[in-house]
């Protein structure tokens, strides 16, 4: 298992700067800092992957004074836009908020105080409990966080139908009338091609997969989409590849088929 001392250099630097800045303005506020996401799942690609964190606070995370301190730290932190995460009150453990309630969090490098936190989900906590890496604090598994299988499955199927299916349908409706050869950002195509496969994998196995692992899993289930999946996986691994509106439509069609398959199996 990856430990703090074997983390990629840019991840070590980001978490170190984060903790140093917080400790300078609010000593003792952060009891634990943990990594989740691609870093912990063996799929971290510098510059293409987020650095996802969960920080546990010794004071209520939504206390106005705490929120103000956190906002000031992130305003001057200067970390990459890929440094994202959540602040959660330590006192609540082992119960954790998993209903996407408003809570302090960082998305695309921007601090949010009172907005709904769409990262506080059963999937996030299931990943944390099994794979979280402690930068500060005891091992994640020692904190007692547990997500019942029924709760994880319910949320996962709901997210496929409530988020991914509309996103794919909207993408197709927007792009279909346009020139399919127009270039589009690679990360958009990889996002729609690989994201739903992660949730299908969770429903099938009860476990959490990285984007790359989920893409390889989907190759075995949907060979008709080998072109879309292989291109997205190659970009994840190397950063190389040119993508078009047509590629994005293909990925969105795959997403819709994945949702339909999940509904047939587990709906």
Q: How far is CA 38 from CA 35, 61, 157, 206, in A?
A: 9, 25, 22, 18
Q: Are residues 135 and 257 in the same domain?
A: no
Residues 85 and 178 reside in one and the same domain = no
Residues 131 and 153 in one domain: no
Separation CA 46–CA 33 (nearest Å): 20
218 in the same domain as 136: no
Query: What integer pLDDT is reported at residue 73 of this predicted model?
Result: 95
Residue ranges in the chain assigned as alpha helix (H): 9-25, 64-75, 122-131, 149-159, 165-175, 186-205, 211-221, 226-238, 245-266
Local confidence pLDDT in tens for the 267 residues of the chain: 445 558 999 999 999 999 999 999 999 999 999 999 999 999 999 988 999 999 999 999 999 999 999 999 999 898 888 999 999 999 999 999 999 999 999 999 899 998 999 999 999 999 999 999 999 999 999 999 999 999 999 999 999 999 999 999 999 999 999 999 999 999 999 999 999 999 999 999 999 999 999 999 999 999 999 999 999 999 999 999 999 999 999 999 999 999 999 999 999
Q: Are residues 196 and 256 in the same domain?
A: yes
Pair (222, 108) in one structural domain: no
- pLDDT for 7 equals 94
Three-state secondary structure string covering 121-143: CHHHHHHHHHHCEEEECCCHHHH
- Domain containing residue 63: 4-143
CB half-sphere exposure, 230, CA atoms < 13 A: 7
Same domain (yes/no): 109, 194: no
Does 133 share its domain with 247? Answer: no
Rounded Cα distance, 136 and 31, in Å: 7
Query: Do the beta carbons of residue 207 and residue 201 sit within 8 Å?
Result: yes
Q: How far apart are CA 267 and CA 260, in angstroms?
A: 9
* Residues with Cβ within 8 Å of residue 58, at least 6 apart in sequence: 28, 29, 30, 31, 90
What pLDDT, on a 0 to 100 scale, did the predictor assign at position 1?
A: 42
Q: What are phi and psi of 96, to 5 degrees?
A: -135, 150
pLDDT, position 187: 95
Task: Mark whether 131 and 157 lie in a shared domain.
Answer: no
Looking at the structure, do residues 161 and 138 belong to the same domain, yes or no?
A: no
The confidence score (pLDDT) of residue 79 equals: 87
* Domain-ending residue, one of 109, 143, 177: 143
Count of structural domains within the chain: 2
Say whether both 10 and 139 belong to one domain. yes
Q: Indicate the helix (H) or strand (E) that contains 112.
A: strand 110-112
pLDDT at 201: 98
């Amino acid at each position: 298992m990856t430990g703090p001392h074997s983390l990629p250099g840019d991840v070590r630097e980001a978490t170190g700067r984060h903790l140093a800045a917080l400790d300078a303005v609010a000593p003792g506020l952060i009891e634990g800092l943990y990594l989740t996401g691609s870093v912990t799942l063996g799929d971290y690609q510098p510059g293409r992957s987020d650095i996802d964190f969960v920080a546990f606070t010794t004071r209520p995370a939504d206390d106005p004074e705490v929120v103000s301190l956190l906002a000031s730290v992130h305003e001057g932190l200067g970390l990459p836009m890929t440094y994202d995460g959540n602040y959660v009150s330590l006192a609540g453990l082992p119960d954790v908020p998993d209903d996407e309630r408003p809570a302090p969090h960082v998305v695309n490098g921007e601090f949010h105080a009172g907005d709904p936190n769409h990262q506080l989900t059963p999937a996030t906590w299931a990943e944390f409990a099994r794979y979280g890496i402690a930068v500060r604090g005891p091992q994640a598994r020692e904190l007692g966080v547990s997500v019942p299988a029924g709760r994880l499955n319910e949320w996962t199927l709901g997210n496929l139908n409530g988020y991914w299916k509309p996103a794919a349908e909207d993408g197709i409706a927007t792009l279909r009338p346009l020139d399919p050869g127009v270039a589009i950002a690679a990360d958009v195509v990889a996002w729609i091609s690989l994201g739903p496969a992660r949730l299908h994998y969770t429903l099938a196995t009860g476990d959490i997969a990285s984007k790359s692992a989920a893409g390889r899993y989907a190759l075995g289930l949907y060979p008709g989409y080998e072109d879309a999946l292989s291109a997205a996986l190659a970009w994840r691994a190397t950063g190389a590849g040119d993508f078009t509106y047509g590629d994005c439509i293909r990925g969105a069609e795959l997403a819709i088929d994945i949702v339909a398959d999940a509904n047939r199996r587990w709906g």
